[in-house]
Structure 1
Amino acid sequence: MKAMGRLLAASGMGLALAAAVLPAAAQDAGMKQWTRGKGWGWVWGPQDEVGALNEMTDASRAAALRLATQGKSYDLGLPYDRNSYRWPGHNPGEIISFRTPEGVARQRDLPFTTAENGNGSHTRWHSSAMFISDNVATQIDGLGHITVGEDNHWYNGFKEGDWGGNFGIRKADVTTIPPIIARGVLIDVAGQKNMEALPAGYEITVADLEAALRAQNVDVTPGTVVLIRTGTARYWGESGADHAKISGPDSAGIGLAAAKWLVEQKGALMLASDTSGLEVGPPRPQDSAAVGGSFNPVHVYLLVQQGVHIGEFHNLERLAADRVYEFAYVATTNAIRGTVAGTALRPLALR
């Protein structure tokens, strides 16, 4: 309740409201469509493409920004290149020089670059062509990323046959993700267990989350972006090239019970971690069965059923080192129409 009190004070809510807030009622404070025990779901109308992020308001954004009292910023993005670790179902990226100063001078295919046409200073440039997956490095999964059923539907019932295409999806693509400005909470599970990183295949349970929150003296309140630390990012280095070192803790993550607790009981607005997939791998049989059989049951639950976005490969090491557990979380995705994830991002934690 300490964290809730700080948030109420920061948002300028009156003393009468603060006095009326009890533990159970606190979960409902300010939420338009979230229901305890249910979460969100397809509650924003048949054409909605935004999901739980609809809950953000001018007031909630202002309250979140008031948490940044020191002016200190934490870069949550990881550097990426062609050798970086990735989930095996995604293609690697490649960066190719499209123009270089030497090439411009040698090719002479652009008249305005030549000295005889006025370019006596030999002004030239670098530009790159990027061939890259929309699901690599620091990213946010969009609501169209995961599909289920023989009809290949995603959030809100949008179907591949209706809204797929050769040039990307046409419903709930990355352009529908609004700028995210919300209260952020780090849950440092690895730190609470005094581990450098969680072991391969470790399932983060509700008890693990509760223990870390108690140790940190912070809580998840409705509308919070939750960042879960496994320790995986400590092995990333300059470009995530040590696949063997990363792949172990990268398979640690939350199970379905923890995801449901965070969304349905705590009101988490978005879940993120320092791994490539947020959830434990391989999934537990009961979790897979709960969504009809799936290798990614937590993704199915969050993205398809709940409309809750997933952040992946967030660098949480500096936050953990400084024991910063509550902050303003800020992230904006690249607006590339048709893509299913905002990729190679640099989200911020502002304190």
Structure 2
Amino acid sequence: MTATQDDVLAYFDSLSNWGRWGDHDELGTLNHITDEVRVAAARAVRHGRSVSCAWEVAVPEDMERSTTTCPRAVDMPGAATMPPAFHADRRWGFSSERLGLTFHGNNITHLDSPCHIFWDGTMYNGRSHSMVDAATGSAWAAVTAAVNGIITRGVLLDIAKVRDVPWLEPGQGVFPDDLEEAERRQGVRVRSGDAVLLRTGYGRARHESGPATGFTQAGWHASCLPWLRERQVALIGADTPQDVQPSGFEDVLMPVHAVGLVAMGLWMVDNCDLEACATTAAELGQWDFQLAVAPVRFAGTSGSPVNPIATF
């Protein structure tokens, strides 16, 4: 049954993980990834093949005006800051970069930590949004809570394949029945501690036609949130920024982000490129794998660009 707006608003209480792992917990659903889960994830490596689930970060031509990609300044050999001995060595050279990027949004593959979203001025586990400071970042549930990385069993659910379409059209949501049909067809079942990667096929469309414009996209419908909690999923990812848009709810623009991050402490990887992962899974007949996600240790940030690696 499709959730109503009242149902979704009630999820903030009924799906809440506040206090579940203690009042000082910042890991949220990553607590489902136990030592035993990591050992089991290693057993999913049966072929030794690894693939990236991230998009390449492009360097824009107009670095001054870009807000979503990665402005780059290149320091060339002979920089004045180098010691004199380096200037005397005519055979030695180097290049280095100074990079700046806004990774949240619809283009760069990135990890969202729980402090990324507030609801009624509150973050995961009941902390005030005032714990986020413009100068120092977040003192609560920042990306550094996952400092030891996220290594678990990943499961790719290929919804475009289930629906026998090249990709879901913008605005089409994915529902629990879709997830379970994908499990049935692929011969896999999501279990506690897993990372679930959702393929809508947008990656294929983006490869063929370039990034979409506007704010309409396929993705998780809010009705999937109880399913994700029941299965004790540790992390979700998608080839879009997660939420189907429009969400269908006037008062909750991005319910998967809002309920997921704030109430559940559900970490998520936005904007994956799942095409190579899907091709490899179909070729090998294996839809589970070891997934490794290592965020950069940016102090106090609400996420990090990442390169998720699936190893089959």
Deviation at 1:335, TM superposition (A): 0.5
Among 277, 283, 287, the residue aligned to 2:247: 283
Structure 1 residues 47-62: aligned runs within 5 Å: 47-62=24-39
Instruction: Measure the CA separation in 1 of the matches of 2:128 and 2:257.
Output: 17
1:254 maps onto 2:251 in alignment: no
SS at match of 2:57: coil
* Match of residue 339 from structure 1: 301
Is the Cα contact below 8 Å between 2:32 and 2:192 reproduced in 1? no
Secondary structure of the 1:94 match is coil
Q: Which runs of 4+ in 1 moved over 6 A?
A: none
1:134 CA drift (Å): 3.5
Letter in 1 for 2:30: L
Offset, 1:95: 2.5
Matched AA of 2:276: R
Query: Cα–Cα, structure 1 residues 113 and 128, in superposed 2: closer, same or farther, change >3 Å?
Result: farther
Cα distance, 1:250–1:270 mapped onto 2, change above 3 Å:
farther
Alignment map for 1:58-97 (pairs within 5 Å): 58-83=35-60, 91-97=67-73
Question: Cα 1:41–1:217, aligned 2, differ >3 Å: closer, same or farther?
Answer: farther
Return the offset for 1:250: 6.7
**Alignment match, 1:34:** none
Gaps of 5+ in 1: 1-36, 85-89
Q: How many pairs were matched up?
A: 288
Aligned with residue 168 of structure 2, among 198, 202, 206: 198
Check the 8 A contact 2:216/2:246 in 1, yes or no.
no
What letter matches 1:294 in structure 2? Answer: V
1:121-140 matches, within 5 Å, as: 121-135=90-104, 137-140=108-111
Distance 1:114 1:162 in 2: 46
Matched residue SS, 1:342: strand
- State the Cα distance separating 1:113 from its structure 2 match: 5.3
**Partners of 2:268 and 2:247 in 1: how far apart?**
17
Judge conservation of contact 2:59–2:72 (CA < 8 Å) in 1: no
Mean CA deviation greater in 317-326 or 201-210: 317-326
Cα 1:154/1:173, change in 2 over 3 Å: same
Deviation at 1:124, TM superposition (A): 2.6
Q: Provide the rounded CA distance (Å) in 1 between the counterparts of 2:48 and 2:279.
A: 18
Give the alignment's TM-score, normalised by structure 1: 0.76
User: Any unmatched runs of 5+ in structure 2?
Assistant: 1-13
Contact 1:231/1:249 (8 A) holds in 2: no
Distance 2:171 2:287 in 1: 25
| 2:274 aligned residue | 316
Cα contact 1:190–1:197 (8 A) shared by 2: yes
Deviation at 1:41, TM superposition (A): 4.0
SS at match of 2:114: coil
TM-score (norm 2): 0.84
Alignment partner, residue 8 of structure 1: none
Letter paired with 2:304: G
Counterparts of 2:16 and 2:127 in 1: how far apart (Å)?
A: 20
Cα shift at 1:141: 0.6
